[in-house]
């Protein structure tokens, strides 16, 4: 496990690749060698640029479990829905957008991020990882003039009726990465009062003790 934190050398990356594969397998994700390599390179770049760009502080196992595996947790749900397009709103350092783009290479994904330094990092990752299915949109989601099958967001802000209305004018479905059941239920109650249809799925991540849920929202 110690090797996970090593990111600097070629050898460190090789150790990291092997361990990453174990983390994914433990969580039921079968990734190809190329996908694992892209995940490892992405983590490596987060570890290099994360602090200086104000992206993310987590390192090593915490970065893998709390961010990478967390981003991967709803991948089967998204696959089963067979989306033709996805927008990840407020992608930040690329969680979950870059991770989903690596895991689902046939799904076109727009990463929407209004902070310039973060959107530049996302564009750099798109190029470096050769993610042909990714497009970076630098700007506020309010101004995007496109329609998507689905939108994901993680750690964006609390889901309110106004936010759901705005996002559902640009997407058929919303997928919000959320924490504790009790707070998700409060959001669901509020959204139901405004006429939105919600479903909540618990997300299990091996090694993650915090409660995680996927809140799915549609118009009724
Ligand atoms: C707390 S960070 C979360 C980043 C990432 N999703 C994660 O989970 O690590 C929220 C990000 O959303 C971006 N953001 C917030 N509101 C936005 C909006 N209306 N349009 C585009 N980006 C937005 C912020 O600039 C920030 O990078």
- Split the chain (220 residues) into runs of 10 and give each run's mean pLDDT: 39 56 93 96 92 81 93 96 96 96 98 96 97 98 96 89 94 96 93 95 92 94
Q: Return all residues near 93 (Cβ < 8 A) that are at least 6 apart.
A: 46, 50, 53, 55, 56, 118, 121, 122
166: CA distance to ligand 1 center in Å? 16
pLDDT (0 to 100) of residue 8:
42
- The model carries a pTM of 0.92
Torsion (CA) 22, 26, 32, 38 in degrees, nearest 10: -60
pLDDT (0 to 100) of residue 207:
85
φ, ψ at 214 (rounded to 5°): -110, 120
pLDDT (0 to 100) of residue 4:
42
Strands 213-219 and 171-178: antiparallel
CA quadruple 212, 202, 148, 191: dihedral sign: negative
From the number of C-beta atoms within 10 Å of its C-beta (0-12, 13-18, 19+), residue 204 rates as exposed
Q: Return all residues near 186 (Cβ < 8 A) that are at least 6 apart.
A: none
Mutation probe of ligand 1 site: the residue of 88, 92, 179 with most atoms within 8 A of C-beta: 92
Are 136 and 49 in contact by the 8 Å Cβ rule? The answer is: no
DSSP state of 54: T
What is the SS3 string spanning 21-42? HHHHHHCCCCCCHHHHHHHHHH
Domain boundaries, the chain: 2-68
Q: How much is the ipTM here? A: 0.99
Rounded Cα distance between 15 and 130, Å, is: 23
Pocket of ligand 1 (CB under 6 A): 89-93, 95, 112-115, 118, 140-141, 154-156
Sheet containing 213-219, strands listed edge to edge, beginning at the edge strand earlier in sequence: 134-138, 109-113, 86-89, 148-154, 171-178, 213-219, 196-202
């Amino acid at each position: 496990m110690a090797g996970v934190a090593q990111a600097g050398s070629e050898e460190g990356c090789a150790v990291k690749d092997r361990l990453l594969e174990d983390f994914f397998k433990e969580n039921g994700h079968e990734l190809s060698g190329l996908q694992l390599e892209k995940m490892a390179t992405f983590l490596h770049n987060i570890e290099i640029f994360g602090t200086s760009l104000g992206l993310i502080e987590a390192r090593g196992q915490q970065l893998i479990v709390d961010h990478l595996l967390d981003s991967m947790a709803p991948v089967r749900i998204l696959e089963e829905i067979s989306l033709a397009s996805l927008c990840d709103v407020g992608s930040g350092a690329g969680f979950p957008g870059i991770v989903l783009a690596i895991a689902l290479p046939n799904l076109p994904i727009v990463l929407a991020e209004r902070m310039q330094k973060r959107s530049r990092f996302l564009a750099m990752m798109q190029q470096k990882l050769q993610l042909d299915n990714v497009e970076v949109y630098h700007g506020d989601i309010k101004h995007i003039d496109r329609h998507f099958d689905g939108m994901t967001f993680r750690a964006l802000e609390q889901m309110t009726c106004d936010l759901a209305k705005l996002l559902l004018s640009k997407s058929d479905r919303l997928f919000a990465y959320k924490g504790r059941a009790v707070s998700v239920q409060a959001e669901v109650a509020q959204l139901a009062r405004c006429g939105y249809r919600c479903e909540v799925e618990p997300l299990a991540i091996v090694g993650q003790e915090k409660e995680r849920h996927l809140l799915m929202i549609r118009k009724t």
